[in-house]
Chains A and B, each alone.
Chain A
């Protein structure tokens, strides 16, 4: 097969087996979850195979890209393409969260008042006449099937601390990014380590809050729409923080190995920083609209 092609203007990679392996990994991953959900004994094992293959693919694929970059075959066009790709990926993530926020506001501003008898009072009379609209919704229309939450934590406890942690981490990551642009490799490492610690603390506190909510406040997935949207929004956000922490840790590893030595050659860190700021902004919106108001 053909070798990678490089002209003065373009770099075209050679054929690669990583993408198809990635597809097989995702297929196995989803098939595994499906079997698991349907309580087939093979489910978790199939899923684990998918996860393992996915990890192999991520190492292999990103490893290939990194070594290509280090060998200096990339040019300005590749850099622009990677940056554009990362921006568009973040755009798609924004849309993903926008969809969830849209659902959240629809339920809160339209669905619940409708159930409480606004607009068409007959809805309430025919279905659940005793139901009163409120937010956060603690008493569900059918509280027998979905037992509502008993108590909600204050936004000024762990959520506020978490907000401060993430906002600080945005600054420390920007500090690391700036330091890289100026070539201070020691500051880069310090900045990255602090960012990772802040992100990990966020995840720890979030896990603590979840456990607390489940055990003491009956804020569960089963607790009706409040629990549902709460875990949907904060859960997917938490997952993105986890991915972000893993990505920043990778950057730290690369920085320790002495990558990013050529000036201007730090797209990876730049992309990770954009992603981290995006995750941050989502959290601020979550804090304001889900926890506070």
Chain B
């Protein structure tokens, strides 16, 4: 077995090996084992959520109702959103955190290993409960991942209660995971690993973990109120009893907006590790990078109502939220500037992780620009709830963050498993993904500007062409990801053995360890000068 775990005796009988396999992974307290579990679960959920997305795009291939009922279409969009967000992109970030943070700060493991195991296993428990709603009477939740009241309270299907409990478990999982990550960074740094020497990935995760602790309990509170409104006759979100449906939107977006940065910051961290390596230059502006990360973290708490410009807020509030939102473009712009300047006059080589990172910088910047467009309150009245919004956040989440996580997967793959991935397949994966993902989401901007609403199974005839193009891109993009999976699985056995440093320009403690690294990364803390 890998990672220095004593190999199970080859002569063991099959049931015994199955039992020891199950025991190993269910009782794991090792940060690498748990990281692997997170990454594999995330990949699985990527394909579950992706299948739902392809069902959506299949239905939208041509106008009219082809495959699904309108109500089931609504459950598709809802479940796609929830699974991708909570089941894929959050766990993939936590998986990298688990693998990398102890190695990067020179620690043997996470600070609270048993809590770490529980954070992980709550995730499949919650995902199973969430997915089980698809098979319940009355169907799965159908009100969009934003769960707005009264769609989710008065009109929600019975399965909504199970979705609420799933969110509770996911919240618990994230909070415990964050507690663990912050504690690890606070208490387990190797001697000499001062704050201003921490790798940027660790910094971004530190801010992310604080963001999670600041928002997940609020989400838990929101869905708890929803549970009470649905079952115990309270009227938090019902104006007839003096409550306010807008209260739900405010609380939800107080969670929802920082959540975007919870997903984005670890991706920024990965990019900040990859680009210097392949540019063979240290990261430009490390201090501004750290400052920008903290600034984004703080600003993300005070901009939530830009998701609610059309809800009848007073003009003063709209103005404030518009300007505060635009302010976020400043630290984000600092980051983009730093990445580009790092590449400037570097001796760049274009291995797969670098290709994905460069694509990330381009497409994420583009997504940021549409974000600034959406932040303009009067313009948002036109864009609101249209495909423009869909295009914007998919550019952020897919073209941006997912690309960053794929870059990270290729970048650290040789370190994690001791074998190189197949570079040729990696390049194929990159070019197919990059072209198809733009074919998929770029036309959706035009659809939105022309007025096509989101979350609709059918559309008017003027939207035919762009929907057709978008769906073609979706299927190519979806199936391209199989190349990635094939590459990851086959290279595990057949890849070239990787050296310890793997990449010529790689800097940091994780590259001083063997590839694959020992089971407990640093038994004795390394000296950092």
Using a CB–CB distance below 8 Å, which chain A residues touch chain B? 1-2, 5, 7, 9-10, 12-20, 22-24, 26-27, 30-31, 33-34, 37-38, 61, 77, 80-81, 84-85, 88-89, 91-93, 95-96, 98-100, 102-103, 106-107, 110-112, 114-115, 119-120, 127, 137, 140-142, 145-146, 220-222, 224-229, 231-232
Contacts and interface: CB of A to CB of B under 8 A. Distances in A.
A92 B121 CA distance: 20
15 contacts: A1-B27, A12-B29, A15-B29, A16-B29, A17-B27, A19-B121, A30-B162, A88-B179, A88-B182, A96-B220, A99-B222, A141-B242, A221-B232, A224-B243, A228-B234
A231 B235 CA distance: 12
B525 A141 contact: no
A12 B113 contact: yes
A80 B217 CA distance: 24
A10 B217 contact: no
A145 B241 contact: yes
B125 to A, nearest CB: 4
Contacts of A114: 244
Contact of A12 (B169, B214, B520, B525): B520
B29 A85 contact: no
Nearest to B219: A99
Given A140-B242, A229-B236, A13 B113 contact: yes
Main secondary structure of the interface of B (DSSP, over half): helix
Given A99-B217, A146-B238, 18 more contacts: A2-B6, A5-B523, A15-B28, A15-B30, A23-B118, A34-B162, A89-B179, A96-B221, A102-B250, A107-B242, A115-B244, A145-B241, A146-B240, A146-B242, A221-B228, A222-B233, A224-B243, A228-B234
Given A17-B26, A95-B217, A85 B523 contact: no
A7 B179 contact: no
Question: For A16, A77, A99, which residue has the most chain B Cβ atoms within 10 angstroms?
Answer: A99
The 4 closest A-B pairs by CB, nearest first: A225-B242, A19-B118, A142-B240, A146-B241
Given A120-B312, A222-B233, A112 B242 contact: yes
Interface residues of B, number: 79
B234 A232 contact: yes
Nearest to B229: A228
A61 B112 CA distance: 13
Contacts of A225: 235-236, 241-243
Contact of B235 (A19, A98, A146): A146
B224 to A, nearest CB: 8
Contact of A33 (B27, B165, B251, B525): B165
A27 B225 contact: no
Contacts of A80: 186-187
Interface of B: 5-6, 23-24, 26-30, 107-109, 111-115, 117-118, 121-122, 125, 128-129, 158, 161-162, 165-166, 168-169, 172, 175, 178-180, 182-184, 186-188, 213-218, 220-222, 224-225, 228, 231-236, 238-244, 246-247, 250-251, 254, 312, 314, 519-520, 523-525
Question: For A61, A77, A114, A221, which residue has the most chain B Cβ atoms within 10 angstroms?
Answer: A221
A114 B112 CA distance: 48
Contacts of B165: 30-31, 33-34
Contacts, number: 218
A106 B250 contact: yes
Contacts of B519: 2
A5 B113 CA distance: 12
Contacts of B213: 88, 91-92, 95
Contacts of B175: 89, 92
A134 B232 CA distance: 24
Contacts of B162: 30-31, 34
B27 A15 contact: yes
Contacts of A120: 312
A229 B225 CA distance: 9
A254 B215 CA distance: 35
Contacts of A107: 236, 242-244, 247
Contact of B111 (A23, A85, A140): A85
A230 to B, nearest CB: 10
A97 B111 CA distance: 27
B218 A95 contact: yes
